[in-house]
Amino acid sequence: MKINIHNLKGDVIEKMDADDKIFKVELKNSVIRQAVLSERTNLRQGTHSSKNRSAVRGGGKKPWKQKGRGVARAGTTRSPLWKGGGVVFGPEPHKYKHKLPKKMSKLARRSVLSDKISKDEFKVLEKIFIDTNKTSDFVSFLKKLKLSDKRLTILVSTFQENLILASRNLRNVYVENVRNVSVYDLLDSEIIVTDKQGLSDLIKVLA
């Protein structure tokens, strides 16, 4: 298949060959779902914690004698039954790790990209280059491409300092490395933007 290459004014200047096995794949919702669940699960830190009766400070002294008072026996003031006592079956720190086979991860990304291309939501520019680090200049650049009101994921081969600084204040623009972009990032964008070098690297990664 052919993918259109646009200049910085948005006009098509050439067409680039792309492999149908990468950019013309059937939409696999089940694989995409598993990939997103894996990515979101691996983001969790797992540092949640609580103190059980042995971890709560104090409670070493028996509050009253065992018998003769006509009340329930008690051995510590840190029992879960008491105010200020330990937590029963509370959360404990543990790792959230979900491995996904590499072939499934690649298939999920191919599937999402194929769907984006079929809906004309994948735009390839000749080159992504920003002269200054001003957000206003970057917004003007997006307006020329008629993308200023869209939620964008920009895929680059190497991070440019000006691009990062100019786009970081825009809530609807995300800059990602083409080699490490997640399925969730691709799904979460209305338009995916990259350049010729980014497209070449994307083909190598997903081949």
15-27 per-position pLDDT tens digit: 888 888 888 889 8
pTM exceeds 0.75: yes
Write b or e for each residue in 107-117: b if 16 or more Cβ atoms lie within 10 A of its Cβ, otherwise e. bbbbbbbbbbb
What is the predicted pLDDT for the residue at 83? 93
Number of other CB atoms surrounding residue 11 within 10 Å: 8
5: left (phi over 0), alpha (psi -120 to 50) or beta: beta
What is the predicted pLDDT for the residue at 13? 83
Asked if the 2-44+99-206 domain carries CATH number 3.40.50.2030, the reply is no
Count Cα atoms within 13 angstroms, Cβ side, for 118: 13
Six token digits for residue 198: 């980014």
Sign of torsion over alpha carbons 70, 72, 75, 81: negative
- Give mean pLDDT, residues 151-159: 90
Q: Are 109 and 79 in contact (CB under 8 A)?
A: no
Closest C-alpha among 206, 207, 203, 192 to residue 128: 192
What is the predicted pLDDT for the residue at 207? 84
**Between 95 and 129, residue with greater pLDDT:** 95
Spell out the domain ranges in the chain.
Answer: 2-44+99-206, 45-95
